[in-house]
Structure 1
Amino acid sequence: MGKLLLTGVDGNLGGFAAEELLKLEPKENLIFCGYNPDSLKKYADMGIETHVTNFNNPDGLKEAFQNAEVVALISMPFVGVKRQNAHKNCVDAAKAAGVRQIVYTSLVNADDETNPSVEKKDHIYTEKYIQEQGLDYQFMRNSQYAEAMVTNYFTYAKMNAPLTNSQGDGLMAYISRKDCAKAVAYALHHSNEFSKKVWNINGLELMTISTFCAIGDVSTGNHVPFVNVTDEENYQIWDAMGVPRTTDGVFLKDSEAPFSSDGMVTFAQAIREGKMDIHTKDFTELTGATPISVRYMFDHQEEFQIGERHSKDN
């Protein structure tokens, strides 16, 4: 039996998934990959097989995957053809190395053609490509990271201003990135039990962004109401903050919004149009745990910030 391989351990989601996986599996069963050699050293020192990988370049990927039976592909933090090509390189290498199954971190409602989110185009491309290659799979269709909106909430709290975007009264089951990481770890751990499986990894409950802000107010004592604007006004807000419209742009160091505005505005549109209001018990079925609540995240807000970008986009 081959090993369980986790990519992106030098990133936020992948790092949390590595911590969870080490609770579930002996280190002899694991392979950890990332583009940053420094981040791999601590795992190598533990006796875990590690490989430096950059999915923008297919060279060496097949060799890195050679001992793996299952590969968890953590989706790249950029958008468009660049991400699609990076994912394709990973899938091609996995197939060439004889990998049986790919666990892929996708997006809630990725296969809905009417979903306007630019992010979902890359996710459905990757899902379909994995299927076309004849590989087994588990697709982890994650709801929006609550950390992104917790960080956003405090950005507006510091400005003593209402949180402003264009998602209206749309519903989202906000989930912690840590729970998404836990789901990836458990999908790897139980990979022999599930085949051609789609998981909707949702938070504890559906809510509007107004409710989200109200929970934050009760927890923190701030007053951050929500104000809805048009999509174009939403773009202008991000422009004023120095956020690039695409991931080809320049990201400010330590930015509180480490995502492109194209991704965020079309995501808000998708929420507003009811394209993201999926709520299941899949997370609990897979992990046996209850999703972390939004209130808990606000009560422990220092542990639930979005953090810096960890990507190699070239």
Structure 2
Amino acid sequence: MGKLILTGVDGNMGGLAAQHLLEMASKEDLIFCGYNEQVLEKYAKQGVETRQVDFNVKEGLADKFADGDVLALISMPFVGEKRQMAHKAAVDAAKEAGVKKIVYTSLVNAGDATNPSVEKIDHAVTEDYIKESGLDYIFLRNSQYAEAMVTNYFTFADKGEDLSNSQGDGQMVYISRKDCAKAVAYALMAKDLHHETLNINGKDLMTMSDFVNVANEVTGNDIKYHAITDEENYQIFDAMGVPRTTEGKFEKDSAAPFSSDGMVTFAQAIREGKMNSHTDDFKKLTGDDPITVRYMFEHQEDFQVGERHSKDN
């Protein structure tokens, strides 16, 4: 049997998934991939085989996946045609190398053509490409990372302002990135799951007002949720110096290390009821209940969005 390959170990979720795998699997059965040599060296010192990869460079990429049986493809942090091409290159290389199955981190409701999220487009393209490749697969369609909204809450609360965005009364089952990473590790090791699409959802279906109310109860703050238009939402991010697309310039330690196009159209999708999937797929996969939003605010220092690790900009 071939080895388990985890990509993106130098990113936020990939690094968390790596920690789970180090506890769950034998190091001899693992290959960790990324482009940050310092991070790879850390794992190499622990006895894990590491390989430096860049999905934007097709030449020699298949060699990086040699001896692998299952590959976890952590979706890239940039958005648009560049990400689609990078994902396709990784899938082609995996197939050429003899990999049998791909675990791909996708997005909730990625298959719905009416979902307005620009983030969704790349995921739908990648899912379809994996299917067309003939490889076995597990698609992990993640709900929105709660960490993004925890950080967002404190951005407004620290200024004494109401939290404002364009989600309206739409519902989302916020999930911790830590749980999404756990799902990757379990899916990578799953021997009985084939051609599966799993919705990796959090514990509770919530509106943004529900989210803010839980946060206030835990923190003692008294801010409200204020619904605004998509254009007003763009203006908030513009004022924060957040680029509209991932081709723009990201500030170090930004409270919003994502492009505003992605965040605003995601809010639109939530408002329009396109992101309200609520399943127990996470528990079926891992055996654990997902972390609640309340717990995340009770341990807020461990559930912040963190830095952007992409080296593409």
TM-score, reference length from structure 2? 0.99
Q: Deviations over 1:26-61 (max 9, x none)?
A: 000000000101001121112111000111112232
Q: How far, CA to CA, are the matches of 2:67 and 2:92 in structure 1?
A: 15
The question of whether the paired residues in 2 share the 8 Å contact of 1:153 and 1:224 is answered with: no
- What is aligned with 2:306? 307
Distance 1:95 1:137 in 2: 12
Counterpart in 2 of 1:286? 285
Cα distance in 2 for partners of 1:60, 1:226 equals: 50
CA contact (8 A) 1:11 1:310 kept: yes
Identity of aligned residues (%): 67
1:283-311 Cα offsets, whole Å, 9 max, x none, are: 00000000000000000000000000011
**Match for residue 202 of structure 1?**
201
Aligned counterparts, 1:227-266, within 5 A: 227-266=226-265
CA distance in 1, matches of 2:58, 2:205: 40
CA distance in 2: counterparts of 1:307 and 1:46, whole angstroms = 24
Aligned equivalent of 2:122: 122
Q: What is the DSSP-based 3-state SS (H/G/I as helix, E as strand, rest coil) of the residue aligned with 1:159?
A: coil
Aligned to 1:57: 57
Paired residue for 2:177? 177
| Moved segments of 4+, more than 3 Å | none
What secondary structure does 2:158 align onto? helix
Which position in structure 2 is the counterpart of 1:272? 271
Partner of 1:45: 45
Q: Distance in 1 between matches of 2:247 and 2:180?
A: 26
Q: 38-47 or 169-178, which moves further after superposition?
A: 38-47
Cα displacement (A) at 1:69: 0.4
Question: What per-residue deviation string (whole Å, max 9, x for no partner) do you get for residues 208-236 of structure 1?
Answer: 01110110001111122110011111111
Instruction: Return 5+ residue gaps in structure 1 as ranges.
Output: none
Instruction: State the distance in 2 between where 1:267 and 1:79 align.
Output: 13
CA displacement, residues 232-277 of structure 1 (integer Å, 9 cap, x when unaligned): 1111111011000000000111100000000000000000000000
2:91 is matched by which residue type in structure 1? V
Which letter maps to 2:69?
E
Residue number in structure 2 paired with 1:8: 8
TM-score under structure 1 length normalisation = 0.99
Work out whether 1:22 is the aligned partner of 2:14.
no
Check conservation: 1:56, 1:313, Cα contact below 8 A: no
Deviations 1:79-128 (A, max 9, x none): 00010011011001001101000000000000000000000000000000
Distance 1:151 1:55 in 2: 30
Q: Any idea what SS the aligned residue of 2:140 has?
A: strand
CA offsets 1:145-197 (integer angstroms, 9 cap, x no match): 0000000000001111011100000000000000000000000111x211000
Aligned length: 313
Q: 1:312 deviation in Å? A: 2.5
* Separation in structure 1 between the aligned mates of residue 278 and residue 239 of structure 2, nearest angstrom: 34
What letter matches 1:78 in structure 2?
F
Q: Secondary structure at the match of 1:195?
A: coil
Match of 1:71 in 2: 71
Note if contact 1:55-1:86 (Cα within 8 Å) is conserved in structure 2: yes
Q: How far apart, in 1, do the equivalents of 2:308 and 2:60 lie?
A: 24
Give the match's secondary structure for 2:294.
helix
For structure 2, which runs of at least 5 residues remain unmatched after alignment?
A: none
Note the 1:154-193 alignment, pairs <5 A. 154-190=154-190, 192-193=191-192
State whether residues 213 and 224 of structure 1, in contact with CA within 8 Å, keep that contact through their aligned partners in structure 2: yes
- SS of the residue aligned with 1:180? helix
Aligned AA (2:175): I
Instruction: Give, as a single letter, the amino acid of the residue that structure 1 aligns with 2:261.
Output: D
Aligned to 2:210: 211
CA distance in 2, matches of 1:228, 1:22: 43
Aligned partner of 2:81 in structure 1 is 81
Quick check: 1:105–1:140 contact (8 Å CA) kept in 2?
yes
Does residue 35 of the first structure (1) align with residue 35 of the second (2)?
Answer: yes
**Distance between the aligned counterparts of 2:120 and 2:311, measured in 1?**
21
